[in-house]
Amino acid sequence: MNPVVLVIVAISVVVPIAFVAIVRRLAFRLAGGQSSSAVMTAGTSAIPSIRVSIDFGWKLVRDLMVLLVLGTGTSILLLRFIYGIGSVTNLSDQFPLGLWIGFDVMGGVALAAGGFVIAGVAHIFHVRRFEPLARPAVLTALLGYLMAVASLIVDLGRPYNVWRPLVHWQHRSPLWEVGVCVALYSGVLFMEFLPVILERVNQIEVVTKRLPTVPLYRFFTRFAIVFVILGVVLSTMHQSSLGSLWVLVPEKLHPLWYSIRLPILFWISAVAAGFAMTIVESTLSSKAFGRGLELDLLSDLGKYASVMLWIYLGVKFADLAMRDALPFLFEGSLQSFSFWIEILLGVVIPATVLSIRPLRKKPALIFGSAALIVLFCIVLNRLNVSMIGLYPFTGRIYTPSWMELMVSAAIISLGVLAFGAAARYLPVFPQHEELTGTAD
């Protein structure tokens, strides 16, 4: 047997176990030395300790699956860095950008729009009711961007050159702009989230005595609005520029999607995604942490999302009409089929449900509509633009390999684990005192 394969298998077994052990150790320390079985399983500590003892079997299966995904993901990464991108993906010179760009980066960044949307509504438009939602939204965004950057590192052939766009300015390249903005915005998001970390750190006397974390906290809360405004500006720039990427290929992209107004459409849908993602994240975390659901707030978010969706629909069809592309709607191709799924399931249905007040009061319907927006208006749309819409030019020569899917799944798992850990040990949610009362 090839020794390289043995090494890969060994590393992929050791790395996740080491990861779990380290996280467990850290969590144990942070929790003030009190072991709780929720902490035992990496960051899956999403469920507070009180509820852990219930259904042990399911939890074990879930943890094993997470470990399996992480382990396989690690082996695939090793393969990718030893034998090249071609050895694990179905990419080719004719179809050079695939799932990791179309889904992880383009979809991921759009779904992380909640950070700038909610922070903007709460702090710039100063709708104070939404302030409790801002922290989890910023956390989701920060992790979303880190996940997108992680995917990018995997996808880039020469990742050690990832900093080059910051130095060699290429203002004609949309990708340059996306790169610079994502780098800057990740920093801004960290600054926005820093007060949450510092709040926790400031509870530890040993640290506050030695480090100026208290004044630092004061500084970042005072100047929070600056970072929020910067965040909105940077987000507007790169959310739209992810669409501009495809303005470069008029000969390749199907006319149902190719438009010079693609950046505008990307931006509008990203704002809608920001609201939708916040609904999804609030609902899921209220389940996971046994928190109450801020139904009124979510209902309002749903209303805002529906407004954005109607605007999106209007701009989309006006754009199609202006480009004389309406006949393509009925050409019966895979592209037109995919387009209708995207528009009906991702825009029309959720927008209708969220526009009707009685329906908007039902948590299940709010969550369902938000999930539809996430899955179809964003994920399917980004895949249509980056993949399915290119098939007429390239032929159907690319579908993601199982290894590409596995890497995406591993990165998402890491993100969810990190969210769980952060939500448990940091004052992300308003009622955090009850959950993390152990440490002092």
Partner 1 sequence: MSECGRKALSRREFLKQVGLGTAAGVGTWLVAERVRPAAASEAENKETFGILIDISRCVGCNSCALACKESNNLPDKDQVPEALDPQTYTFVQPVSLTTAAGEVATRYVKRQCMHCLDAACVSACPAAAMYSSGTGPVVYRAVRCLGCRYCEAGCPFTIPRFNWDNGVTPKINKCWMCYERLAEGGQPACVAACPSGALHFDKRERLLSEAHARIESDPDRYLHHVYGEHEVGGTSMLYLSDVPFEDLGFRTNLPTFAPPEETEKVMSALPMVIGGMATLMTGTALYTHRRPHEEDEE
Q: C-beta of 268: minimal distance to partner 1 in Å? A: 14
- Asked if 170 interacts with partner 1 (CB under 8 A), we say yes
Long-range contacts (CB closer than 8 Å, 24 or more residues apart) made by 361-368: 361/295, 361/299, 363/283, 363/293, 363/295, 363/298, 366/279, 366/283, 366/298, 366/299, 366/302, 367/279, 367/280, 367/283
Quick note: the x/- pattern for partner 1 over 174-193, rule CB under 8 A, is: xxxxxx--------------
Nearer to partner 1, 290 or 395 (CB): 395
Question: CB–CB of 243/265 below 8 Å?
Answer: yes
Give the CA diameter of the chain.
Answer: 70
CA 67 to CA 410: how far, in whole Å?
A: 9
The pattern of x and - marking residues 141 through 160 that bind partner 1 according to CB under 8 A reads --------------xxxxx-
Nearest distance in Å: CB 239, partner 1: 11
210 binding partner 1? (CB under 8 A): no
Closer to partner 1 by CB, 176 or 340: give it: 176
**Binder to partner 1 among 56, 169, 337, 402 (CB under 8 A)?**
169
Nearer to partner 1, 53 or 221 (CB): 221
Stretch that binds partner 1, among 232-240, 327-335, 356-364, 397-405 (CB under 8 A): 232-240
Q: Cα 312–190–268 angle (5° rounding)?
A: 5
Of the pair 347, 383, the CB lying nearest partner 1 is at 383
CB of 67 to partner 1, least distance (A): 25
Nearer to partner 1, 32 or 86 (CB): 86
Q: Output the smallest distance, CB 159 to partner 1, in A.
A: 8
Could you tell me how many residues of this chain bind partner 1 (CB under 8 A)? 71
- Which residue from 2, 54, 57, 161 is in contact with partner 1, where contact means CB under 8 A? 161
CB closer to partner 1, 52 vs 162: 162
Which one, 115 or 346, has the nearer CB to partner 1?
A: 115
Among 223, 321, 337, 396, binds partner 1 (CB under 8 A): 223
Q: Give the x-and-dash track for 233-272 against partner 1 (CB under 8 A).
A: x--xx--xx--xx-xxxxxx-------x--x---------
Give least dist CB 430 to partner 1, A.
11
Query: Should residue 328 be labelled a site residue for partner 1 when binding is judged by CB under 8 A?
Result: no
Q: How far is the CB of 390 from partner 1 (least distance, A)?
A: 9
* Residues 61-100 contacting partner 1, CB under 8 A: 80-87, 91-94, 96-97
- Which of the residues 108 through 137 are near partner 1 (CB under 8 A)? 120, 123-126, 128, 131
Our finding on whether 357 is near partner 1 (CB under 8 A) is no
If one asks whether residue 222 binds partner 1 (CB under 8 A), the answer comes out as yes
Member of 2, 54, 58, 172 binding partner 1 (CB under 8 A):
172
Nearer to partner 1 by Cβ, of 240 and 278: the residue is 240
Among 52, 216, 230, 359, binds partner 1 (CB under 8 A): 230
